[in-house]
Structure 1
Amino acid sequence: MRKRADWMVKADEIILEILEGGLMLGPTAIAKNGDLSRQHVTNRLSILVAYEFVERVEDGYYRITDRGRLWLEGEIDASELEPK
Structure 2
Amino acid sequence: MRKRADWMVKADDAILEILEGGLMLGPTTIAKNGDLSRQHVTNRLSILIAYGFVKRVEEGYYQISDRGRLWLEGEVDASDLDPTEDQ
TM range (shorter): over 0.9
Is residue 27 of structure 1 aligned with residue 27 of structure 2? yes
Aligned equivalent of 1:11? 11
Counting aligned pairs with the same residue, the percent is 85
Deviations 1:23-71 (A, max 9, x none): 0000000000000000000000000000000000000000000000000
Secondary structure of 1:4 counterpart? coil
Is structure 2 residue 65 aligned with structure 1 residue 65? yes
Report deviation, 1:76: 0.5
In structure 2, the partner of 1:43 is 43
- Please list every run of at least 4 consecutive aligned residues from structure 1 whose deviation after the TM superposition is greater than 2 angstroms: none
Letter paired with 1:7: W
Which residue pairs with 1:52 in the alignment?
A: 52
Q: Separation in 2 of the partners of 1:83 and 1:38?
A: 22
Which 5+ residue runs of structure 1 have no aligned equivalent?
none
Count of residues in Structure 1 that have an aligned counterpart in Structure 2: 84
Normalised to the residue count of structure 2, the TM-score between the two structures is 0.96
TM-score, structure 1 normalization? 0.99
Say whether residues 1:77 and 2:74 are aligned partners.
no
